[in-house]
Amino acid sequence: MVEPAQRRKRRGVSPEADVNDDTHVFYRNPFSYYPTVARGDGAYLYDEYGKRYLDACGGAVVSSLGHSVPEVVAAIKEQLDHVEFAHTSQFTNAAQEKLARMLTDRAPGGLNHAYFVSGGSEAVESAMKLARAYWVQMGRPDKWMVIGRDQSYHGNTLGALAAGGNRWRRAIYEPMLFKAPRVAPCFCYRCPYDKKPESCGIDCAEDLERAILEAGPEKVAAFIAEPIVGATAGALVPHPDYFRRIREICDKYDVLFIADEVMTGLGRCGSWYAIRQFGVVPDMLCLAKGLAAGFVPVGATLVHDRIVDTFSSRRHIFQHGHTYMGHPLAAAAGVAVIEYMETHRLVEKSRKLGDELLARLHEALGEHPHVGDIRGRGLFVGIEFVADRDSKTPFEPELAFHRVLRETAFDNGLVIYPMGGTVDGRRGDHALIAPPFVITRAQLGRLVTLLVKSIDQTL
Ligand code: PLP
């Protein structure tokens, strides 16, 4: 058994020694030390030594209800008592029928069908392939291209990676990725056009029209975007008119709009679906993470009537599918999560607590010389760190500020989701704060205190 990293550090043992060397697991990062999680309870995780961690990001924005919620555990067990699996090419199951209804009832108009998968990347792959298949059905077989944005992340499988704009994750796989243009992000703090939000004209949305015309509208099948960008830039909230203009451009050129709500969906941003806050209806909407809140792996693509109707009326099937799609345990967990959220009014809580968290962070860090921007919606909050606040100059990438901050916070018993999204063509430093919707106000206060302490210790 390897002893905890922080204890080793205190003893002055080199960080290289902090590896779990007695293992057959191929870790995400073999040079990191991973404590063994022993149990979870509400907003807290405990390792095998009993150390307590305030989980302020639900891993990668997954655990929206906190840990070990008895109602969800009971629902999964009950499903297990009836049937664990039946292949969806042979059977449907009551849990997926119910979950599909619950998801589509809460979705913007026309998104009346749920295609279940096992995670976010699969949801995105399904949406992109469905866009292609739709245009083939419509007699437009040249349409295949999916345009994405810089500063975006849609998953690590090859198609999703190709649509995303995270250059670090893409780098060595470039030769394996389909080639399509990417457009400017809607990044008001670092506007790619050097404009101010009050007088901007949303040039970043217009960039989509440029890219479609450059590629040839006859080739472009879809545009994909996260309503509020998560993993590459830390909760980038777009200009209020951005998505309305995007929708107009998509309609003008017969391009489907895919909203990737893998992070933002299911209450995270203070509404069931974040895109609703921008007044547009996408053609498809991808979900995962908060869908079963970490209890079971699951994902879904919500699909508009007009796409599904095209397949039905032409008596064609969508040639796709995964073994575990519509898995009864995942669906039962999803149903229980939504019921729990309704009972405890958690969407509303996410919105209110999110406002409170933003206010507390502004109060504690608003004038901090190395905090450039604090932003977000609901309990989906991002902080951008800078070497110089006035010039917005990022820290030197070699400092790996976000990584050191994560480790310092972890030692202090606080789990946050750091990232090195791109800033002016090089790595920047951000952190995502996305605590469970059940976090108490006292725990929110503790979160801010531990975060400020960790930032100060990192500098
Ligand atoms: N899309 C978005 C917006 C994400 O943030 C992620 C993961 O962080 C994905 C897709 C990929 O999801 P998964 O890791 O479940 O494949």
Give the tokens for residue 168: 């670090």
Q: Report the alpha-carbon distance of residue 383 to residue 376 in Å, rounded.
A: 9
Q: Locate the ligand 1 atom nearest the alpha carbon of residue 119 and give its number.
A: 15
Low-confidence ranges of the chain (pLDDT < 50): 1-4, 6-7, 10-14
Signed CA dihedral, 129, 233, 341, 79: sign only: positive
CB of 262 within 6 A of ligand 1: the answer is: yes
| pLDDT score for 154 | 98
Task: Tell how far the Cα of 155 is from the centroid of ligand 1, in angstroms.
Answer: 5
CB of 124 within 6 A of ligand 1: the answer is: yes
Q: Locate the ligand 1 atom nearest the alpha carbon of residue 230 and give its number.
A: 5
**Of residues 441, 295, 455, the one with CA closest to residue 379:** 441
Please report, for residues 319, 358, 434, the alpha-carbon distance to residue 438 in angstroms, rounded to integers and kept in the order given: 40, 17, 11
Residue of minimum CA distance from atom 15 in ligand 1? 120
Q: Which helix (H) or strand (E) holds 263?
A: none
Task: Tell how far the Cα of 46 is from the centroid of ligand 1, in angstroms.
Answer: 25
CB of 152 within 6 A of ligand 1: the answer is: no
ipTM over 0.90: yes
pTM of this prediction?
Answer: 0.95
**Of residues 380, 387, 381, 386, the one with CA closest to residue 361:** 381
Half-sphere exposure of 49 (CA within 13 A, CB side): 12
Per the rule left: phi > 0, alpha: psi between -120 and 50, beta: everything else, 50 is: left
Pocket test for ligand 1, best of 61, 125, 151, 154 (most atoms within 8 A of CB): 154
Q: Report the alpha-carbon distance of residue 306 to residue 309 in Å, rounded.
A: 5
CB of 226 within 6 A of ligand 1: the answer is: yes
Q: Report the alpha-carbon distance of residue 433 to residue 416 in Å, rounded.
A: 6
**Of residues 113, 112, 118, 62, the one with CA closest to residue 85:** 118
pLDDT tens across 192-248, in order? 999 987 889 899 999 999 999 999 999 999 999 999 999 888 999 999 999 999 999
Fold of the 35-68+346-458 domain: Aspartate Aminotransferase, domain 1 (3.90.1150)
| pLDDT score for 125 | 98
CB of 154 within 6 A of ligand 1: the answer is: yes
Task: Tell how far the Cα of 459 is from the centroid of ligand 1, in angstroms.
Answer: 30
Task: Tell how far the Cα of 7 is from the centroid of ligand 1, in angstroms.
Answer: 33
CB of 121 within 6 A of ligand 1: the answer is: yes
Residue of minimum CA distance from atom 12 in ligand 1? 120
Residue with tokens 């030692």: 411
Fold of the 71-343 domain: Aspartate Aminotransferase; domain 2 (3.40.640)
Structural domain boundaries in the chain: 35-68+346-458, 71-343
Q: Locate the ligand 1 atom nearest the alpha carbon of residue 61 and give its number.
A: 8
Half-sphere exposure of 141 (CA within 13 A, CB side): 0
Give residue 291's Cα distance to chain centre: 11
Please report, for residues 175, 447, 453, the alpha-carbon distance to residue 442 in angstroms, rounded to integers and kept in the order given: 50, 9, 17
Pairing of strands 145-149, 284-287: unpaired
Helix (H, G, I), strand (E, B) or coil at 152: coil
CB 443 within 8 A of CB 358: no
Residue of minimum CA distance from atom 13 in ligand 1? 120
Give residue 248's Cα distance to chain centre: 25
Task: Tell how far the Cα of 123 is from the centroid of ligand 1, in angstroms.
Answer: 9
CB of 260 within 6 A of ligand 1: the answer is: yes
| pLDDT score for 11 | 36
Task: Tell how far the Cα of 368 is from the centroid of ligand 1, in angstroms.
Answer: 31
Task: Tell how far the Cα of 164 is from the centroid of ligand 1, in angstroms.
Answer: 10
Residue of minimum CA distance from atom 10 in ligand 1? 154
CB of 118 within 6 A of ligand 1: the answer is: no
Please give the order of strands across the beta sheet that includes 299-304: 111-117, 299-304, 284-287, 256-260, 220-225, 145-149, 182-183
